[in-house]
Amino acid sequence: MGAVQSSDQEPEAAAARFTGRAVTGVRPVSGTLAEVTLDDGRVVMVKSQDAPGGVRAEAAGLRWLGAAGAVRVPAVHGHDGRWLVTDRVPDGRPSGRAAVRFGRDLAALHASGAEAFGAPPPGGPRDASIGLAPMRNVPGTDWPTWYAEHRVLPYLRRAVDDGTVRAAEASVVERVCERLTELAGPAEAPARLHGDLWNGNVLWGADGHAWLIDPAAHGGHRETDLAMLHLFGCPHLDEVLDGYQEAAPLAAGWRDRIALHQLFPLLVHAVLFGRSYAVQALQAARATLAR
């Protein structure tokens, strides 16, 4: 098959530019993602993103996570203001054995640390994104204050402004923020977080390992990544947690704090997708206050 001709605005052009190889095939996966086959037989993923700082943040996040030498992430071939080119992860199946290994690897990733809560990856922008929502990485010294000011309240205000959360309902989330110091559990050092660790961003590779994609990486509390896995489900989650606890036991009461850590992603989803997630965020706030 001959090389595919393309304009500079197409995924195949980005793949050729960042890998230095000719392109022989393209398969769109979604409106923003394509699999591109190179002339040496390799397949790379080409993702487009128009959000300011989005591609730069994702590339920096993948490299930062990969630098820990713990969880596997696809290699970054290159990026610009719009396009990101990475390796493709060959598909496999989740298994209990792979899940235990993933738990251990995730614990090692978190333990590799960050400079501060809210610290962006090296080379990553302050103004990043989580999914299609903006996310600002502003360093803070203590987790409760930082989590309230830079992860919960900005999205609560946006949800109220949009009418997704009614003004009279916002007080329950605000009360959680006021009590965060007592609700947060023992103080911990900043962890190196994936930051958007829902099931869709965990790929089970043909090599028997879990791979992480699409990070919103930053320094944070390790229980936040685990709460995200609980929120949308994860194959063999009990085994993931067994592996994690074996490598780095969680502080007492961590299960009671899952709803607290889910406030952030639920409010992000409320901003992006509407009222049903706002209702879940309010339920999480009430459950946290009822502890």
SS (H, E, C) the chain: CCCCCCCCCCHHHHHHHHHCCCEEEEEECCCCEEEEEECCCCEEEEEECCCCCHHHHHHHHHHHHHHCCCCECCCEEEECCCEEEEECCCECCCCHHHHHHHHHHHHHHHHCCCCCECCCCCCCCCEEEECCEEEECCCECCHHHHHHHHHHHHHHHHHHHHCCCCHHHHHHHHHHHHCHHHHCCCCCCCEEECCCCCHHHEEEECCCCEEECCCCCEEECHHHHHHHHHHHCCCCHHHHHHHHHHHCCCCCCHHHHHHHHHHHHHHHHHHHHCHHHHHHHHHHHHHHHCC
Averaged confidence pLDDT in the chain = 95
CB-based contact 203:98 (threshold 8 Å): no
| Domain shared by 277 and 183, yes or no | yes
Query: Per-residue pLDDT for 127 more than 70?
Result: yes
Distance CA 173, CA 137 (A): 21
Q: Which domain holds residue 54?
A: 11-87
pLDDT at 3 (0 to 100): 52
Catalytic, 87? Answer: no
Residues 100 and 165 in one domain: yes
The domain that holds 199 is classified in CATH as 3.90.1200.10
Residue 38: φ, ψ to 5°: -95, 165
Buried b (16+ CB within 10 A) or exposed e, 252-291: eebeebbbbbbbbbbbbbbbbeeeebbebbbebbeebeee
pTM as predicted = 0.94
- Confidence check: pLDDT of 16 > 90: yes
Does residue 4 fall inside a structural domain? no
Q: With bands split at pLDDT 50, 70 and 90, how would you rate the model's confidence at 7?
A: very low
Tokens of 287: 């459950």
Query: Does one domain contain both 37 and 105?
Result: no
Q: Of 67, 87, 107, which one is at a domain's C-terminal end?
A: 87
pLDDT confidence of residue 286: 98
274 lies in the same domain as 178: yes
Residues 173 and 36 occupy one common structural domain: no
- At 186, which amino acid appears? P
Number of structural domains found in the chain: 2
| Residue 164 covered by a domain | yes
**For the chain, percent of residues with pLDDT exceeding 90:** 91
Residue among 19, 132, 5, 8 at smallest CA distance from 85: 19
Task: Check whether 2 has a pLDDT greater than 70.
Answer: no
Instruction: Kindly state whether residues 170 and 225 are assigned to the same domain.
Output: yes
pLDDT of residue 74: 98
End-of-domain residue from the set 40, 67, 87: 87
Active-site residue, from 91, 105, 196, 207:
196
154 and 264 co-located in one domain: yes
| Final residue belonging to a domain, choices 46, 66, 87 | 87
One domain, residues 163 and 274: yes
What tens digit of pLDDT does each residue of 170-227 get?
Answer: 999 999 999 999 999 999 999 999 999 999 999 999 999 999 999 999 999 999 999 9
Of the ranges 20-24, 232-236, 272-276, which one carries the lowest mean pLDDT score?
232-236
Residues 127, 104, single domain; the answer is yes
The tens digit of pLDDT for each residue in 86-98 reads 999 999 999 999 9
* Residue 49 pLDDT: 86
Residues 6+ apart with CB under 8 A from 165: 156, 159, 173, 270, 278, 281, 282
pLDDT of 159 higher than 80: yes
